[in-house]
Structure 1
């Protein structure tokens, strides 16, 4: 993932035990990087979604409860 992003993963996720000062500095650096590469956020989001879907596909399984939302009718949004 680090190669796909071009930045260390720790920059985005942090490290265990980091202080508030370290966290603030890390987030500041991340903001600077995103400011220099506005498409980075979209790439990171796509990579994260792909990783989640690949490693934990059950999170993407949406089961219907069989209950209907009161007042909602199929196709009503098209009207």
Structure 2
């Protein structure tokens, strides 16, 4: 079975994500995990460091956008939106955990 988005055949999962969202790719060297977090657990120190770097990268892209680089401006918006997402696999794993708010029968 083949998958198409528009008139483009999707060949892998990354390409599907990029086409479905509407962005071709992040700038060279940038990783989705930097902005949304890894699929595996991370320590509070690792998370703080990752979020600090992500904020700096977003600020740099936004500054480039304000300087007239339209692609950098869109990349900044996309990267910022990624910071508000949770990878599906991580969300699915945590859904099985008890939050302690369930009603007791």
What range is the shorter-chain TM-score in? 0.3 to 0.5
Whichever of the two has the greater Rg, that structure is 1
Which structure features the higher share of helix residues? 1
Q: TM-score, normalised by structure 1?
A: 0.47
Q: Normalization by structure 2: what TM-score?
A: 0.37
